[in-house]
Amino acid sequence: MKLLTLSVHQLGELMERKEFSSEELTRVHLERISQVEDEIKAFVTVTEEAALAQARAVDQKRARGEELSLLAGIPMAITDNICTDGVKTTCASRILYNFVPPYDAEAAARLKGAGAVLMGKCSMDEFSIGPAEEKSGFFSARTPFAPEAAPGGSSGGAAAVAAGEAAFTLGSDTAGSLRQPAAFCGVIGLKPTYGRVSRYGLISYASSLDQIGPFARDMADLALILNTICGHDAKDSTSAAVAGPDFKKSLINDVKGLKIGLPKEYLANTEPRAAVKIWEAAAQLEELGAVCEEVSMPHTEYALPAHYIISSAEASSNLARYDGVRYGLRVDADDVLNMFSKTRGQGFGDQVKTRIMLGTHVLSAANYDDYYVKALQVRTLIKQEFARTFEKFDCLLTPASSTIAGQSRKETDGPLAAYWSKACNIPVNLAGVPAMSLPFGLVEGLPVGLQFIAPHFGEEILLRVGYTLQQNTEQTRLKPGLAC
Amino acid sequence: MSRYEAVIGLEVHVELKTETKIFCGCSTEFGQAPNTQVCPVCLGLPGSTGVLNKKVAELAARAGLALNCKIGAYTWFDRKNYYYPDLPKGFQISQVFRPIAYQGYLDIEVDGREKRINITRAHIEEDPGKLIHASGSIMTSRSSFVDYNRSGMPLIEIVSEPELRSGAEAKAYLEKLKAILEYTGVSDVKMEQGSLRCDANVSVRPVGTAALGTKTEIKNMNSFRAVQRAIECEVDRQIDVLEEGDSVVQETRAWDENKGITMSMRNKENPDYRCFIEQEVSPIELSDEWIKDLRATIPELPDARRKRLVAEHGLPDYDAGVITSSLALAEFFDATLEKFPEAKKISNWIMGELLRLLNARGMELSQSKITPAGLASLLELIEKGSISNKIGKEVFETMFEEGQEPAQIVKEKGLSQISDEGQLTRIIAEVIAKNPKSVEDFQAGKEKAIGFLVGQVMKATRGQANPGVVNTMLREKLAE
Ligand SMILES: [Zn+2]
């Protein structure tokens, strides 16, 4: 079924030419979902009826000759920590098992406004709190390349795009959840600059780190989606008062003269077979005219513990509202205090509880200065290190994951050990800069991803580098083993 | 003379007078049906994010300036984490580390002595919702209800240094604070609607020592008078505890208005609120220019206005103090004075009749129907002798309740004074004929008897005679 592998703009153009209707396209995707979901498990909720109704509405508009976005009628899916009006949004947690938001997240509203058709909600780690990919409150997704392996990070959204269940998806990234899963599933994931996309309606895990972004199949799609979701939102204080540029203008097949840095510390920590692919990509970029150079970012090793402390602290506070009083799970008890503890005790999984306890510990008056304040200081140093590095380089090239799909360290190695697989992703969230994961060939049949990191609001460079590579090497276009 | 002195600090929560809540667009109107002024933001629904209402920062800075505080050019919000069903996010957004205003003061006067009370800080925070228990407390009630209309109402908390030494000083501090916040338009400052709430930290120590005693926090006081009584009562209790050789327990105590005592609520072992910087709300940045412009809009404050009333209109300082204790009264006074130029007479009526009726009815000035123009016309009628002072009070009460013009009330009720000498001559003759004993007494030199006779004439005319005229005519008649 060819339709399932086409890009958004290809599908959009075909629908403009009336080759098929959005309803037909939606039905094809619904069929695909029912065919592969048992294995992929990318969705926690499929909104079949609503999707068909939305698709028919787009078809009617097209029949009336209304001017439509290229996204109109395109099947998409949204990760289950992004609120969707009238559609259950659970964060893959028992504690929110029945929560139906009365409003759309801003990014979801903008995509729906452009006519994109919501197929359903994608699976994730409970509240995105990894790193154990097996710890979803419900179940965990699989990469279509190797269904025995988890897709990495916390996003079924990457698996859904790779398996042809949706043409693109929206996810969030606190510790690499848009980039590692993209790498493991052979699709593109982009974490925009913090503040570039409104966080309104994104259920907070770690407020200062969380950022919404897309999974897509090619760079033109990425530009199209970014054009729709980026830009200031007056409802969100963290939304930057910066207008989104026209990202389509960044689809330039030229990297001549671009200075690309390769941070040593990232490569040193990476599974050697993945690291080899980075050098291969660097060679290719040099061939295309870029200048690649090694660079040292010595604070990198402190990013992980700092991120762990900051994200645990913020999570312990952000997750306090799930107390059984207003919505979600409530376990009745004799008095209100017991109701709180029983509800939270039964509603949260072990990973989440661990992080709440850690966060509570590091924020308590006795430990605050030793942990939380120190972590904030480290964060400042890391931001400064990025700023200094970007004085010399236009962007950085690193592995998108320090491990290969299905070979992430095991939960039994301890929580922090599993966290290490995101060591290449995490400094980016601390610094708030944008980064993109781009597929780059296979190692033993499993996809490997490149991560490009740009300065604040430098997404245009990411698109330009990605577009050039996509135009010049087949390695960036991967076909999953689970044939479409 | 007590061997102990009280050390009192007040924490006053004041609801800011904004149209909408602190981080969302919900209305702040008081008294609406429960949970009708709510949205995803003030309900703390998952994924909701708020944006600071600019008016909140302005009003808070305004209060700070009026209280002689320094204003922070860069301040931010923090989270105070704790669990309670009225707190929808599981944390309260407040300013823990950097208050918008700090190091201020206000001056109070008790028993003619002036005293400066330093203000530690005034910071912005959001109000939680309101719990209503079917019976008893949250732990004993079978069920409890939450109204989130109040959730996200903007507050400032004004914290005084522990420099108050008596319940009376505390009351004076609150009265002054209330007047300043009312003058500057920062708040409605209505204690009965909860827009002003006060907790008191109370400790005692032997006179002459510097170390602080163990303090208790007193809550649940619903009037300034109650604050004063609760503090007095708590100070006595703590002294008794110490005198008996025991020590004061650090705890929160509730004032019981009916029993007139404070009762232990819970031991307070300083809960750890795990405060940290709020990341989802932007910091507040105020430029020097903005602060300067704001300072220029602070109106004349109570103390300055009081001095002006004394200097410009010759009012006694006491009268000026009473009138300027509330902006509404002060404005009422000024407006009346524009139409009737005798300041002392106006202040007598304000401090006498107006405040008497307001207190008796438990009303705000704005709830009465009396207007400055109405009072001015009434005073003119009295001045011209059309009605007596006594009738004037009756007319005033009607104006207060119903709001008619005084001349109309006088006419409708037939209250105009009888100055017609023919009619009076007849009545006086009757009174003299009926009261020979008093006539005799007067003629025998008992000056007091004339008062009784005047009273009888007034009674016969149902108070409508001009007492001055009656007095003169009686004396003339009796001298015959
Ligand atoms: Zn609201």
Rounded to two decimals, the ipTM of the complex is 0.93
At A136 the pLDDT is 44
Contact of A313 with chain B, judged by CB distance below 8 Å, is answered with: yes
Give chain B's residues under pLDDT 70. 1, 267-269, 414, 417-421
**Is the bond preceding residue A151 a cis peptide, omega within 30 degrees?**
no
Residues 427-456 of A with CB under 8 A from B: none
CA distances from A174 to A212, A431, A445, B316 (A): 9, 12, 28, 68
Name which of B163, B157, B162, B202 is nearest B181 in CA terms.
B157
> C-alpha angle B138/B142/B148, rounded to 5°?
55
DSSP reduced 3-state for B369: coil
CA A446 centroid distance within chain: 19
Burial class from Cβ neighbours inside 10 Å (0-12, 13-18, 19+) for residue B192 reads exposed
**Backbone φ and ψ of B331, nearest 5°:** -70, -35
- Write the Ramachandran bin of B301: left for phi over 0, alpha for psi from -120 to 50, otherwise beta: beta
Q: How far apart are CA A95 and CA A330, in angstroms?
A: 8
- Residue B386's nearest CA partner among B358, B418, B353, B364 is B418
- C-beta neighbour count of A377 within 10 angstroms: 12
**Closest chain A C-alpha to B185 CA, distance in angstroms:** 27
* CA of residue B153 to ligand 1 center, whole Å: 9
Is B146 in Cβ contact with A364 (below 8 Å)? no
Please indicate whether, in this complex, the C-beta atoms of A323 and B83 are within 8 angstroms of each other.
yes
CA distance B57 to B71: 11
Q: Looking at beta carbons, which pairs linking A355-358 to residues 24 or more positions away fall under 8 Å?
A: A355/A129, A355/A311, A355/A312, A355/A315, A355/A316, A356/A312, A356/A315, A356/A316, A356/A319, A357/A316, A358/A308, A358/A309, A358/A312, A358/A316
% chain A with pLDDT above 90? 81
In B28-87, the residues whose Cβ lies within 8 Å of chain A are 40, 43-52, 79, 81, 83, 85
Measured in Å, residue B366 CA sits from the centre of ligand 1 at: 29
pLDDT value of residue A271: 86
Asked if residue A43 has pLDDT above 90, the reply is yes
pLDDT higher than 80, residue A155: no
Q: Find the CATH number of the domain harbouring A162.
A: 3.90.1300.10
Higher pLDDT, A168 or B270: A168
Q: Which two tokens stand for residue B30?
A: 């008081």
For the cut 80, the answer to whether the pLDDT of residue A248 exceeds it is yes
A148 pLDDT more than 80: no
Q: CA-CA distances (angstroms) from residue B276 to A200, A202, A373, B268?
A: 21, 21, 10, 21
Residue ranges per domain, chain B?
A: 4-291, 300-413, 421-479
Pairing relationship of beta strands A188-191 and A211-216 according to DSSP bridges:
antiparallel
Residue A335 belongs to a domain:
no
Rounded to 5°, the CA angle A466-A110-A29 comes to 70
| Residue A134, pLDDT above cutoff 60 | no
- Extract the tokens encoding B341: 């130029």
| Torsion angle in degrees (nearest 10) through CA of B93, B98, B99, B105 | 160
Question: What is the domain count for chain A?
Answer: 1
* CA of B149 vs chain A CAs: smallest distance (Å): 14
Residue B125 in tokens: 């925070």
Distance (Å, whole) CA A361 – CA A348: 18
For residue A165, give its domain range.
2-257+458-476
C-beta separation of A315 from A126 below 8 A: no
Whole-number pLDDT of residue B269: 62
CA of B285, closest CA in chain A: separation in Å? 14
CA of B38 to the centre of ligand 1 (A): 4
Ligand 1 centroid–CA A100 distance in Å is 18
Q: Which residues of B touch A237 (CB under 8 A)?
A: 49-52, 280-282
Q: Which two tokens stand for residue B76?
A: 């931010």
| pLDDT given at position A482 | 55
Distance CA A4, CA A6 (A): 6
- Please tell me what DSSP assigns to residue A204: P
Quote the mean pLDDT of chain A. 92
Contact B46 A83 (CB under 8 A): yes
Q: What is the mean pLDDT of residues A192-196?
A: 98
The pLDDT value given to residue B450: 87
A320-344 burial code (b ≥16 CB/10 A, e <16): bbbbbbbbbbbbeeeebeebbebbb
* Residue A88 falls inside a structural domain: yes
Q: Is the dihedral of CA A416, A417, A418, A421 positive or negative?
A: positive
Confidence of residue A42 (pLDDT cuts 50, 70, 90): very high
Give the span between the Cα atoms of A269 and B166, in whole angstroms.
68
Whether A292 maps to a domain, the answer reads: no
CA A325 – ligand 1 centroid, Å = 18
Residue A135 is predicted with a pLDDT of: 42
In a domain, A214, yes or no: yes
Query: Is B47–A101 a contact, with Cβ atoms under 8 angstroms apart?
Result: yes
Show the CA angle centred on residue A19, arms to residues A17 and A22, nearest 5°.
Answer: 95
**What's the pLDDT band for A94 if we cut at 50, 70, 90?**
very high
The CA distances from residue A203 to A89, A211, A315, A425, B85, in Å, are 9, 10, 11, 21, 20
B-facing residues of A in 245-304 (CB < 8 A) are none
Q: Nearest-CA neighbor of B382 among B370, B372, B398, B394?
A: B394
- Let me know if domain B421-479 sits in CATH 1.10.10.410: yes
Q: Identify whether A425 is part of a domain.
A: no
C-beta of residue B324 within 8 angstroms of C-beta of residue B302: yes
d(CA B292, CA A136): 55
Cα separation, A39 vs A4, in Å, equals 17
Q: State the burial class of residue B297 (Cβ atoms within 10 Å of its Cβ: 0-12, 13-18, 19+).
A: exposed
Q: What percent of chain A has pLDDT over 70?
A: 92
B34-53 in b/e form (b: 16+ CB < 10 A) is eeebbbbbbbbbbbbbbbbb
How many Å apart are CA A61 and CA A65, to the nearest integer?
A: 6
A14-31 confidence digits (pLDDT tens): 999 999 999 999 999 999
The CA angle B160-B165-B166, to the nearest 5 degrees, is 105
DSSP A212: E
Residue A137, pLDDT > 50, answer: no
Other Cβ atoms within 10 Å of B361 Cβ, number: 12
- CA dist., res. B418 & res. B476, Å (int): 18
Residue A89 contacts residue A83 (beta carbons within 8 Å): yes
- Looking at chain A from residue 190 to 209, which residues have their Cβ under 8 Å from any Cβ of chain B? 199-204, 207-208
pTM: 0.89
